[in-house]
Chain A
Amino acid sequence: MGILLAGGFYFAVLVFLGGGVSRFLILWKTYGLDKAVPVRGAKSSPGTQAKTICKALGDTFFFARLIRTNDVLWPGEWIFHVSFVLVVLRHARFFLAPVPGCIAFLQPAGIIAGYVLPFALIYILVVKLIIEKRYFSTYNFFLLSLIFSASLTGILMRTLLKTDSAAAKVFILGLLGFRLQAAPGGGLFAAHFMLVLALVLYLPSHLFTAPFTLLEARAREEELKRIIHEE
């Protein structure tokens, strides 16, 4: 089982990095090809630029644009994303030795987030499928199911069918150092690990690009005031 998980791990990491490189190459190729995209007017003042950046940070960290369009969905989405980040940070302890103070500090919050996350997902599903009955992409449904399953297996490993986390850490550090170690016993760890690998393979690209488009949108909003109006 350990070998299978290790193979899956290296495959997922390679695909993830390969995806990043291929995106970078596409961006590199098109660099400078800014035909027919908004032409920037006069540069805005440093004060305005700072305001634009602050607004974009608000959009990135508080999903301000989503509040504007869907304030019912917003709490679910925001809590889900925050819990997801906290859970990921909590898992960083498996990849780092020694564990940095900040990661250790976040552990209690990470545990709570682990329990909150599936409820946030259920909330999103209820809003989308039962209350609003609107468009729900197959990809998002798949992704949410994947995260839900990973989160449930994680909770089970912590509560009912406890898994040896020290062994898990040895296994993961072994993977990072290319010195394969035995995987913790029990199918639950393997299931959880594979679900997370699947998540890495299908990781949505918006996690990396949305902050840029949000900043760009705020800059465009600012530009709109000046594109045809006098300074």
Chain B
Amino acid sequence: MKNRNSFTSCLSPRQIMELDACTQCGECLRNCPVQEVTGNPSISPPEKIRIFREFIRATEGVKARLFGAGDIDRTLLEDFTKAVYECTTCGACGQDCSVGIFTQRLWPMLRNEMVRRGLGPLGAQANMPEAVRNTGNPYSRAAAERFAPWRPDIRIAARSDIAYYAGCTGAYEAQPMARGDVLVLDAIGEPFTMLSAEEEVCCGFPLFITGQHDMLGDLVRRLVCAYQGKGIKTLLCSCPCCVNFMTRDWRPFYGGPLPFRVRHITQFVADALGRGRIAVKKELKERVIYHDPCYLSRGVGIIEEPRIVLRSIPGIELLEFSRHGMNSRCCGAGGAARKVFHENAVAIGRLTIDEAVDKKADKLILGCPACYAKVNEAMQGNEKQIRIVDIMELFAAALR
């Protein structure tokens, strides 16, 4: 039974140490996208950590142990909740942190605590568990619409060593991306399988990142068992959020090691290029700039493979953002904050668009369905304009 008064029951000892280790130096503010667009230090990492430490002290500190826990001001709790949900969980602060705090996982767990207290999630995020329960995806869309609008007429094996997971955001919100994925997989020619539209449910990431963990065990087990039934050895996915969650967190929610490995689609394609299973002949005389999704680069260290894929297209000139790879800047869509803090997300997205245009790129290459959806939205009404293309959408077009 969890102590309702305690603020630490959702945290691991490592995370408690991390909270204690923050020196309040503020180095993490320099690359925080939310700071860039709001300039509001009261929602910065050191302030969030300071306030959460106050909560712990008030409930489990020396005074609280001796004389009983004090009441915590409701406004402070609400302000903290807003601050922890306004964050895009991009992890840039962790990258810059003087003491190495793993913020990409600390913030979701602090959100988890706020959910436990009935304070989080915020706005539309609260509808997600219900939507996932009823429809299998956080967008409340019908399973019938999951693959039908975008999946080309290609051969999907009933069983195979390899499976492809499209993911909800790719399937419903960034369809050119999911279409590009399957076209490229088809071109590589190694048989792959997919779950049916009813079986392929949410991977759990949106629930995890918004701190709503109740259904996660069930969801993860359901997917793992379904893939196990197809006899797969490798699960391919292009969505950085899904890949990150599957690689890092599926195991504890599943309750043991996964019976297959998870790989990002660019790893598979880069490998196919290396083995000569696929090659692009068509020349594409274009300057393109690739945006590293936070959950892919900082999250699981996929940095080189997307560049291998892009450089394999003859004639292409690959440009880099000033902040790229491990230091990439969030596109604004992360952490489900885009569902509530829409203006921040658009403003952050425009920073990426503007830099791409300033660097005179012809195309902005994205590799994440959430970025794809949000940056396209940020483009509307923006002074600077650029064509946005998903990496597999571009590669599939080059293969044709």
Contact = CB atoms under 8 A, between A and B. Distances in A.
Contact of A213 (B21, B248, B253, B264): B21
**Size band of the A side of the interface?**
35 or more
B252 interface: yes
A178 interface: no
Contacts of A212: 17, 21
Interface string A203-231: 01110111011101110100011011100
B62 A22 contact: yes
Interface string A186-210: 0000000000000000001110111
Contact of B98 (A25, A63, A135): A63
Interface of B: 6, 8-9, 11-18, 20-27, 29-30, 41, 44, 46-47, 50, 56, 60-62, 65-66, 96-102, 105, 108-109, 208, 213, 243, 247-249, 251-253, 262-264, 267, 300-302
Given A22-B65, A37-B12, A227-B300, A214 B29 contact: no
Contacts of A139: 24, 50
Contact of A31 (B13, B65, B97): B13
Nearest to B15: A37
Contacts, number: 153
Contact of B29 (A19, A134, A208): A134
A37 B247 contact: no
B301 A135 contact: no
Contacts of B253: 35-36
A36 B23 contact: no
Nearest to B60: A26
A227 B301 contact: yes
Contacts of B213: 36
A18 interface: yes
A137 B48 CA distance: 12
A35 B29 CA distance: 28
A29 interface: yes
Given A69-B96, A218-B100, A225 B27 contact: no
Interface of A: 15, 18-19, 21-23, 25-27, 29-31, 33-39, 59, 63, 65-66, 69-70, 134-137, 139-140, 204-206, 208-210, 212-214, 216-218, 220, 224-225, 227-229
Given A30-B12, A66-B27, A140-B25, A19 B243 contact: no
Contact of B23 (A69, A210, A227, A229): A210
Given A39-B249, A139-B24, 15 more contacts: A33-B9, A34-B14, A37-B15, A65-B100, A66-B25, A66-B98, A69-B30, A204-B23, A205-B20, A205-B21, A213-B14, A214-B99, A227-B248, A228-B301, A228-B302
B179 to A, nearest CB: 24
Given A59-B100, A224-B300, A210 B21 contact: yes
Given A34-B12, A208-B20, A65 B41 contact: no
A35 B300 contact: no
B46 A30 contact: no
Contacts of B96: 69
Given A38-B105, A63-B98, A65-B99, A26 B62 contact: no
Contacts of A229: 267, 301
A19 B61 contact: yes
Contact of A22 (B24, B61, B99): B61
Of listed A30, A34, A36, A217, residue having the most chain B CB within 10 A = A36
Nearest to B24: A137
